[in-house]
Structure 1
């Protein structure tokens, strides 16, 4: 009897399992708790915000292009992700590790033992998620022979929420686990299992298809332009969990090798449509170190390891944090329709609220960022109620190039100020050709008030947004003015 095409295979608990998937939007967490009876992973928020459901997904190391921020160990590339918004079919050909795997050898994993020793489990609900993020961190540093400081560990755990506010003992546990060499994650034999799974046919049924190369993807999108394109599901997962939106047909981008690469192309940094946010932001920061804080504050690691930079741009949220930064950098989108491609500047992509210039059957293949001539000064700012893992009230990407003491070029882009992320044309005009003085700053701030008519909502009032945007321009001026520019340490409140 032939097997249903809706059956996927992945490595779980040391063996390859075959799992029928009648609904492609069923989450990994639902399967774990309801079918596998692996109830250590908890559902807290069902939107990827709290991290109580954190698991580790592993692929073959040579299937993950360099550079990558995945944890590489035992021939595998591992990423902590949120199980609540990970659609089950995307596990095909991969391995799934949960909190139950940590003590599978009979001894507690160093992350678990340290949480016990340092009283890091208060009510205990969030503890499995913290343990998984800590275990991924332990594996990375044990493999690399490195050791994070307390702040770096806090950044690693920023995607895990402790509602009991027990962060001090959790961080102490995280530092203590690094002194314990083992046991490590139970990875033995997984690479061989995934090698065997490579020979299996890709899952495909009317509701879900996962093309393996770019021509197949382009043909699938042309054939079914109404299908939803799925990358990391960090946004689409909320459509299902929170809006109960039916998604009758999905086309998954995550297995297309050509879309998973980052490359330098003659003065352009190319980031493919399936490159995870964590890898994409690391590449951007390597070229523009001033973007490091925006990288740290862009969601938490489990979201950044799942979601994609291009997905964030394609979503087109007016409060998205990636679009202002990339607009300021002069990014261009590479769009594909069948075997035809065209380039479109990102600042021309958005038409209106959640509307863009994609044609029917067209999709974003990559975003290309000019490395630019010398002399550009770039900065990104984010105003939100929480420092970590929060949605912005206002965000800004700011770039200028000075010729002596005069501004030769300027690109200012803001999120949260209009129905779309867009550039501040009036403020830019007030800057270009002028000396970068306080008088020029005031003129730009005055023009900025005419560039945008922000809304009042639960995150901020219109007046607050206007004042905050003007304040960010001033903060930027203090950092970039030709005379007595202030160091970054004097312009931030977070050490």
Structure 2
């Protein structure tokens, strides 16, 4: 068992020990390391001023991803390479991204600039070429700039990422990979005492044993929600069990018939495979938070959190997903919709944790649609999210699964609507009316600052109508801001 966290930064291995379990990475960077180029802005993972890049060894290769340091716990960088804005310029001068920001006047007050530079640095290192304006705006969805405006920043990104990664700016990936491989071990981490600790089990058996002994501990995967408990709600979280070292939880298995996703697989890793099930699912994932959020947030964390306005759960419910749980040595499975009991309450016993989810892929006779409605297009919480799967036989709906987020205290299936859809004829809109009216039987929508109950009810009805219109044959370009063809391209 190890009593410290170790990571690579600036070519040197650093260790952290004896720290408080709720210490954030941002506080470690600014207050302990005294590298203050990384800024604190919103402190909730929205503005991007705190963006840093983490390098991880994945399948034998280095992968660099932007993350929000303000809501990531310091202990979560174990075994990673941490790159901050101070690390970019070298003896030969500025990094190409920094030089392009200067040349294209991409900064005014400069407070947000370090985070923007780090997001663009990750894009540069990703090596995707050519880089289009859409790719850049997706990369910057989690970075706000109130002074400069985005045109010069986007111009800088396009200029910096026009060529191949290389030259003086090229990172020594092989050297970093060697160090991270040396740091990798199968030791459990435990820092603290029985009353207050940060722990990171290295196996699923060690996790099960530790969580049974401390069922009051907070399980942390990506911390995109738990981080807010610390920075906004000021909760004193005494016991943290981080799941990032549990190897079996990050498994990702795809067959021609199904997709099995471990609880700690991030949204970024799952994005392409989910988009392969259907382009709408790929577009949903593209709009799931920001690059920083998707690089940290996990599939299991999103589901275990049980938010009524989470986007992923309704889509997976419509696809007929199953969830797998474990407590001690015992495991169990259930349909995903059965996991959500009431607001903030899931069918998860003390000491029990989510292992993963499994989604069956679409058959040739099935059609799927899902839509997210929010005030902002990027990085916004849904007012209503609707997901629809229709089994079709000669142009008639033989079976249906319909689920909504934002309409109730939990992600919920619309059983009356599903029943009313059976027998609906795609070529006869008059046969759809009963199903459209049945939404009012299934839901008495919630009413909050994001949307009124009346608005949600009308939107849910409109989304079902939209799905039926599209499945009946309307071109998506007539009904979308972005068509299914473009969504498929973006997801890929």
Q: TM-score, normalised by structure 2?
A: 0.93
Which of residues 138, 151, 154 is equivalent to 2:134? 151
Contact 1:383–1:392 under 8 Å retained in 2: yes
In 2: Cα distance, 1:487 partner to 1:191 partner: 47
Counterpart residue number, 1:426: 416
Which of residues 350, 365, 378 is equivalent to 1:360? 350
| Shift in alpha-carbon separation, 1:190–1:91, aligned structure 2, 3 A | same
> Is 1:134 matched with 2:120?
yes
Contact 1:92–1:203 under 8 Å retained in 2: no
Unaligned runs of 5+ in 1: 64-74
Counterpart residue number, 1:68: none
> Is 1:197 matched with 2:183?
yes
Shift of 1:379: 1.3
Which of residues 144, 149, 156 is equivalent to 1:166? 149
Shift of 1:473: 1.1
Counterpart residue number, 1:413: 403
Counterpart residue number, 1:86: 72
In 2: Cα distance, 1:430 partner to 1:32 partner: 56
Which of residues 466, 469, 474 is equivalent to 1:486? 474
Shift of 1:201: 4.7
> Is 1:186 matched with 2:186?
no
Counterpart residue number, 2:463: 472
Contact 1:110–1:180 under 8 Å retained in 2: no
> Is 1:29 matched with 2:29?
no
In 2: Cα distance, 1:200 partner to 1:417 partner: 44
Counterpart residue number, 1:66: none
In 2: Cα distance, 1:21 partner to 1:49 partner: 29
In 1: Cα distance, 2:352 partner to 2:189 partner: 23
User: Which stretch shows the higher mean deviation, 274-283 or 236-245?
Assistant: 274-283
In 2: Cα distance, 1:256 partner to 1:467 partner: 44
What SS does the aligned partner of 1:84 have? coil
Shift of 1:94: 1.6
What SS does the aligned partner of 2:70 have? helix
In 2: Cα distance, 1:313 partner to 1:165 partner: 37
User: Which stretch shows the higher mean deviation, 118-127 or 435-444?
Assistant: 435-444
User: Which stretch shows the higher mean deviation, 195-204 or 356-365?
Assistant: 195-204
> Is 1:16 matched with 2:7?
no
Contact 2:224–2:297 under 8 Å retained in 1: yes
Q: After the TM superposition, which segments of 4 or more aligned residues of structure 1 sit over 4 Å from their partners?
A: 199-202
Shift of 1:455: 2.1
> Is 1:45 matched with 2:42?
yes
Counterpart residue number, 2:244: 254
In 2: Cα distance, 1:237 partner to 1:246 partner: 11
User: Which stretch shows the higher mean deviation, 96-105 or 18-27?
Assistant: 18-27
Contact 2:107–2:148 under 8 Å retained in 1: no
Give a deviation string over 1:143-180, Cα, whole Å, max 9, x none: x5x21211122112211112236111111111111235
Counterpart residue number, 1:76: 62
Contact 1:139–1:184 under 8 Å retained in 2: no
Contact 1:229–1:253 under 8 Å retained in 2: yes
Unaligned runs of 5+ in 2: 484-492
What SS does the aligned partner of 1:419 have? coil
| Shift in alpha-carbon separation, 1:232–1:166, aligned structure 2, 3 A | same
User: Which stretch shows the higher mean deviation, 194-203 or 48-57?
Assistant: 194-203
Which of residues 103, 106, 109 is equivalent to 1:117? 103
Shift of 1:265: 5.5
Contact 2:265–2:298 under 8 Å retained in 1: yes
In 2: Cα distance, 1:185 partner to 1:458 partner: 47
What SS does the aligned partner of 1:395 have? strand
Contact 2:92–2:168 under 8 Å retained in 1: no
Shift of 1:21: 4.0
Contact 1:104–1:186 under 8 Å retained in 2: no
Shift of 1:287: 2.0
In 2: Cα distance, 1:364 partner to 1:330 partner: 17
In 2: Cα distance, 1:288 partner to 1:56 partner: 30
What SS does the aligned partner of 1:133 have? helix
Shift of 1:409: 1.2
In 2: Cα distance, 1:426 partner to 1:218 partner: 39
> Is 1:177 matched with 2:160?
yes
> Is 1:443 matched with 2:443?
no
Q: How many residues align?
A: 475
Contact 2:63–2:126 under 8 Å retained in 1: no
Aligned-residue Cα RMSD (Å) equals: 1.8
Give a deviation string over 1:110-146, Cα, whole Å, max 9, x none: 11111111111132111111111111111112xx5x2
